[in-house]
Amino acid sequence: MTTQSNPEPPLINFAFPFRDAKGKEIVDEHVFYEWLADEESGSFAVSSSGMWHGGIHVSAEGAGKHLDLPYGVRCIAAGEVIAYQTNRLAL
pLDDT digits (tens, 9 = 90+) for 8-49: 877 778 889 999 999 999 999 999 989 988 988 766 667 777
- 39: in domain: yes
* 11 belongs to a structural domain: no
pLDDT in tens, 42-72: 666 677 778 787 778 889 999 999 999 999 9
Whether 31 is in a domain gets the answer yes
Question: Looking at the 3D structure of the chain, how many domains does it have?
Answer: 1
Q: CA-CA distance, 19 to 32, in Å (whole number)? A: 10
Determine contact, residues 42/55, Cβ cutoff 8 Å: yes
**Domain around 50:** 19-70
Q: How many alpha carbons lie under 13 Å from residue 10 in its C-beta half-sphere?
A: 5
Q: What is the rounded distance in angstroms from the CA atom of residue 29 to the CA atom of residue 44?
A: 12
Are the C-beta atoms of residues 75 and 81 closer than 8 Å to each other?
yes
Residue 4 lies in a domain: no
